[in-house]
Amino acid sequence: MEVAGVTRQFGGLTAVNEVTFDVEHGASIGLIGANGAGKTTLFNCLTGFDKPTSGDVRLRGKSLLKLPRHKVVGSGVARTFQIVKPFPDLPVLANVMVPLIVRKTKGDVKAQALQVLSRVGLAHRAASPSSQLSEGDLKRLEMARALATGPELLLLDEPFAGLSTQEIGVLSDTIRDLRADGVTLVIVEHKIGSLLKLVDRVIAMDQGKVIADGEPQAVMRDPAVVTAYLGGEAHDPA
Amino acid sequence: MTETDEKAPAPVPAGPSTGAKLGKRLLKVNVILLILLPIALLYFPRFVDNTTLLQVVATANIFVMFAASWDILSGYTGQVNFGHAAFIGFGAYTVALLSKYQPAVNNELALLIGTSTAALLGIAIGVPCLRLKGPYLALATLSVAGALVQLTFIFKSQTGGEDGLANVSAVTEGTITGPLGEKLSELVLGPLTYAGLGGFDQYIYVSYFVTLAVMILMVGGLMALGYGKRGLVLRSIQQDELAAEAAGVPLTRYKLAAFVLSAACAGLAGGLYAQVRGTVALDLLAVDLSLLVIIIAAFGGAGSIIGPALGAYAVILLQGYYLDRASTLFVEHPELKLGSFSLLLIIVLLVQPRGLVPPLLQRLGGKGSPSQAAGATMVESGGAKP
pLDDT digits (tens, 9 = 90+) for B1-14: 333 333 334 343 33
pLDDT digits (tens, 9 = 90+) for A129-147: 999 999 889 999 999 999 9
Query: Whole-angstrom Cα distance, residue A232 to residue A229?
Result: 8
Average pLDDT of the residues of chain A:
91
Pairwise CB contact (< 8 Å): B13 & A111? yes
- For residue A155, which of A40, A58, A53, A71 has the smallest C-alpha distance? A40
Per-residue pLDDT band at A230 (split at 50, 70, 90): low
Query: Whole-angstrom Cα distance, residue B315 to residue B95?
Result: 26
Residue of A nearest to B377 (CA): A127
Asked whether the beta carbons of A190 and A158 are under 8 A apart, the reply is yes
Whole-number Cα distances in Å, A133 to A138, A175, B291: 6, 19, 36
Pairwise CB contact (< 8 Å): B242 & A85? yes
Within 8 A of B382 by CB-CB distance, chain A residues are 110, 114, 126
**Does residue A184 fall inside a structural domain?**
yes
Structural domain of residue B84, as residue ranges? 45-286
pLDDT digits (tens, 9 = 90+) for B195-212: 999 999 999 999 999 999
Angle formed at CA B86 by CA B81 and CA B87, multiple of 5 degrees: 90
Share of chain B residues as helix, strand and coil, in percent rounded to the nearest 5: 80, 0, 20
**Does residue A235 fall inside a structural domain?**
no
User: What's the whole-number mean pLDDT along residues A41-56?
Assistant: 93
**Does residue A238 fall inside a structural domain?**
no
Q: Is B144 helix (H, G, I), strand (E, B) or coil?
A: helix
Q: Give long-range contacts, CB 8 A cutoff, 24+ apart: A214-223.
A: A216/A30, A220/A192, A220/A196
Q: Is B157 helix (H, G, I), strand (E, B) or coil?
A: helix
**Does residue A236 fall inside a structural domain?**
no
Query: Whole-angstrom Cα distance, residue B173 to residue B210?
Result: 12
Asked whether the beta carbons of B26 and A138 are under 8 A apart, the reply is no
Task: Check residue B27 and give its pLDDT.
Answer: 53
Residue of B nearest to A69 (CA): B245
Pairwise CB contact (< 8 Å): B233 & A101? yes
Structural domain of residue A7, as residue ranges? 2-228
pLDDT digits (tens, 9 = 90+) for A214-223: 999 999 898 8
Per-residue pLDDT band at B328 (split at 50, 70, 90): confident
What is the β-pairing status of strands A201-206 and A28-33? Answer: parallel
Whole-number Cα distances in Å, B320 to B56, B288, B289, B324, B338: 6, 15, 14, 7, 11
Query: Whole-angstrom Cα distance, residue B73 to residue B277?
Result: 26
Asked whether the beta carbons of A20 and A4 are under 8 A apart, the reply is yes
CATH number at residue A82: 3.40.50.300
**Residue A216 one-letter amino acid:** P
**Does residue A6 fall inside a structural domain?**
yes
Calculate what percentage of chain B has a pLDDT beyond 90.
69
Q: Is A61 helix (H, G, I), strand (E, B) or coil?
A: coil
Asked whether the beta carbons of A160 and A168 are under 8 A apart, the reply is yes
Beta-bridge partner residues of A54 = A7
Within 8 A of B250 by CB-CB distance, chain A residues are 68, 70-71, 102
Please state the domain count of chain B.
1
Q: What are phi and psi of A89, to 5 degrees?
A: -85, -10
Pairwise CB contact (< 8 Å): A91 & B385? no
Q: What are phi and psi of A54, to 5 degrees?
A: -150, 170
Torsion sign across C-alpha atoms B355, B357, B363, B367: negative
**Residue B264 one-letter amino acid:** A
**Does residue A237 fall inside a structural domain?**
no
**Does residue A145 fall inside a structural domain?**
yes
**Does residue B268 fall inside a structural domain?**
yes
**Does residue A21 fall inside a structural domain?**
yes
**Nearest by CB to A94, which of B1, B375, B384?**
B375
Pairwise CB contact (< 8 Å): B233 & A102? yes
pLDDT digits (tens, 9 = 90+) for B99-150: 999 999 999 999 999 999 999 999 999 999 888 888 899 999 999 999 999 9
Please state the domain count of chain A.
1
Task: Check residue B378 and give its pLDDT.
Answer: 33
Instruction: State the Rg of chain B over Cα.
Output: 22
Beta-bridge partner residues of A8 = A16
Query: Whole-angstrom Cα distance, residue B193 to residue B199?
Result: 13
User: What's the whole-number mean pLDDT along residues A30-52?
Assistant: 91
Query: Whole-angstrom Cα distance, residue A117 to residue B191?
Result: 59
Taking the CA of residue B369 and the nearest CA in chain A, the distance in Å comes to 9
Average pLDDT of the residues of chain B:
86
Pairwise CB contact (< 8 Å): A121 & B380? no
